[in-house]
């Protein structure tokens, strides 16, 4: 059977919603995608080695805040979504979408072990006419240098016998405005046929699909997006340090600057970078660039500034406590918000963890409040979230706002008179003498 026949057959199955779809990795990227495919009429199997996750899906329970319980339960009840840990069932899929983590090693080099394991599972049952898409964020060249050779090792050829593409995930946990369906999807295949079938798949599910010329371009798009944010956040973090030295309110500066209707986009300082993407992706780009003899000095400098912010927060805590004639050593410090961003339960790379560990090393007694994270385990610490009023009744020496969840009510905090270090400008409308801003 010719490649054109496989191509047309898969296109027909996709456009008629008869294609079976397997999503490997059921986290913040994979589960929303699987549910959206099912909502659009596809039969979807979610694959994950974590049987708790697959069991929750089969029970109709959503464990990702961005996935509505009703949407998931309806898809399961209709028989369009199921979870499984049996990777051999990948043989029954027309489309396989890989959405596994891509962390960094301790050496700041890319860790593709999850991708490799997923591709191994796909390769073990790969058949003619299947479409394989990698969504995991990675360095340019991963799809054609790592994934393609592994899939072709048994003799099938990409873009002829099977189809292979990269489409970067663009998930923003907690964002109520943008979600899987209305975020434009970038798609690049190893050839025209692969790009076309991957684009057709996403066109059946999302509002806008942007086709690019290769997998490398699609991979670089994702790194540009997140490096852009990391560099600009690094710049504004450095500006915050500068403004503190010059006794200027950096938040007021930003608010005034963003009134310019062109040529300026506001970014905001904070206690550091968090989440799976922005603190990590620039390192993928720097690592790949070094292989080509290029040093990303600008990007790496931004990373240095951002990674130093937890230390700066601790210094601000020391300065704030000093006004009450207290030292960090022996003080009771309460952390308000430990998730990496507002209104999510995601702890990945959260700067609050670094702040907690740095304070603990200097002798502080730590407690925290976070309605999204009820238990916290860090190196040497196991803590449980307590109610903010309970924390205030215990009279802490200092409260540090690390994450400004919308559920927090700040009136009682400000009125308590406790020393407050606000790293998010959550108290921007208040000017009490006990508030110390970033």
Domain ranges for the chain: 3-213, 308-437
Q: Average of pLDDT values for 88-97?
A: 97
* Average pLDDT across the chain, whole number: 92
- Going by pLDDT thresholds of 50, 70 and 90, the confidence category of residue 380 is low
Burial environment of residue 414 by CB neighbours within 10 A (0 to 12, 13 to 18, 19 or more):
middle
CA atoms lying within 13 Å on the CB side of residue 218: 33
Q: What is the pLDDT of residue 103?
A: 83
* Residue 252 CB partners (closer than 8 Å, separation 6+): none
Written as six digits, the tokens of 386 are 């307590």
Q: 179-231: per-residue pLDDT in tens?
A: 888 899 999 999 999 999 999 999 999 999 999 999 999 999 999 998 999 99
Who wins on pLDDT, 194 or 301?
194
Which of 243, 277, 398, 402 is catalytic? The answer is 277
- Going by pLDDT thresholds of 50, 70 and 90, the confidence category of residue 121 is very high
Q: What is the pLDDT of residue 361?
A: 94
- Going by pLDDT thresholds of 50, 70 and 90, the confidence category of residue 113 is very high
Q: Average of pLDDT values for 145-155?
A: 95
Burial annotation 78-102 (CB, 10 A radius, 16+ → b, else e): eebbbbbeebeebeebbbbbbbbbb
Q: Average of pLDDT values for 90-117?
A: 89
Q: 310-357: per-residue pLDDT in tens?
A: 999 999 999 999 999 999 999 999 999 999 999 988 888 899 999 999
Q: Tell me if 3-213 shares its fold with 308-437.
A: yes
Q: Average of pLDDT values for 409-438?
A: 92
The whole-angstrom separation of Cα 280 and Cα 6 is 38
Domain 3-213 sits in CATH at 3.40.50.720
Instruction: Choose the weakest-confidence range: 87-91, 168-172, 380-384.
Output: 380-384
Superfamily of domain 308-437: NAD(P)-binding Rossmann-like Domain (3.40.50.720)
Q: What is the pLDDT of residue 398?
A: 97
296 part of the active site: no
The whole-angstrom separation of Cα 160 and Cα 164 is 10
Q: What is the pLDDT of residue 122?
A: 97
Q: CA dist 413 to 148, 389, 408, 417, Å?
A: 56, 8, 10, 7
Percent of the chain with pLDDT over 90: 77
The whole-angstrom separation of Cα 430 and Cα 437 is 11
3-state secondary structure of 203: helix
């Amino acid at each position: 059977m010719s490649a054109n026949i496989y191509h047309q057959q898969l296109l027909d199955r996709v456009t008629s919603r008869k294609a079976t779809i397997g999503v490997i990795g059921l986290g913040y990227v994979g589960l929303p995608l699987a549910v959206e495919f099912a909502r659009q009429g596809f039969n979807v199997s979610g694959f994950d080695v974590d049987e708790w996750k697959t069991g929750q899906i089969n029970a109709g329970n959503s464990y990702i805040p961005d996935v509505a319980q009703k949407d998931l339960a309806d898809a399961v009840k209709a028989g369009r979504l199921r979870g499984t840990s049996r990777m051999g069932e990948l043989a029954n899929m027309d489309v396989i979408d890989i959405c596994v983590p891509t962390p960094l090693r301790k050496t700041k080099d890319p860790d593709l072990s999850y991708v490799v394991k997923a591709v191994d599972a796909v390769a073990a049952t790969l058949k003619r006419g299947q479409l394989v898409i990698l969504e995991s964020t990675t360095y340019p060249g991963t799809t054609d240098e790592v994934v393609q050779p592994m899939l072709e090792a048994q003799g099938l050829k990409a873009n002829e016998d099977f189809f292979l593409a990269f489409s970067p995930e663009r998930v923003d946990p907690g964002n109520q405005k943008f979600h899987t369906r209305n975020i434009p999807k970038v798609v690049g295949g190893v050839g025209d046929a692969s790009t076309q079938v991957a684009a057709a798949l996403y066109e059946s599910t999302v509002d806008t699909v942007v086709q690019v010329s290769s997998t490398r371009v699609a991979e670089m798009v994702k790194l540009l997006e997140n490096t852009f944010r990391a560099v600009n956040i690094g710049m504004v973090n450095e500006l915050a340090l500068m403004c503190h030295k010059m006794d200027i309110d950096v938040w007021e500066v930003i608010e005034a600057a963003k009134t310019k209707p062109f040529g300026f986009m506001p970014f905001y300082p904070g206690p550091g970078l968090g989440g799976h993407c922005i603190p990590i992706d620039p390192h993928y780009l720097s690592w790949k660039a070094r292989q080509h003899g290029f040093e990303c000095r600008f990007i790496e400098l931004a990373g240095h500034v951002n990674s130093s912010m937890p230390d700066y927060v601790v210094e601000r805590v020391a300065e704030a406590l000093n006004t009450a004639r207290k030292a960090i050593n022996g003080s009771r410090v309460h952390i308000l918000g430990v998730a990496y961003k507002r209104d999510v339960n995601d702890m990945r790379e959260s700067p609050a963890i670094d702040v907690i560990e740095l304070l603990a090393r200097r002798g502080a007694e730590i407690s925290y409040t976070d309605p999204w994270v009820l238990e916290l385990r860090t190196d040497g610490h196991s803590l449980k979230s307590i109610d903010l009023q309970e924390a205030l009744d215990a009279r802490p020496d200092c409260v540090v706002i690390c994450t400004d969840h919308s559920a927090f009510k700040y009136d009682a905090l400000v009125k308590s008179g406790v020393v407050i270090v606000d790293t998010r400008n959550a108290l921007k409308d208040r000017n009490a003498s006990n508030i110390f801003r970033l």
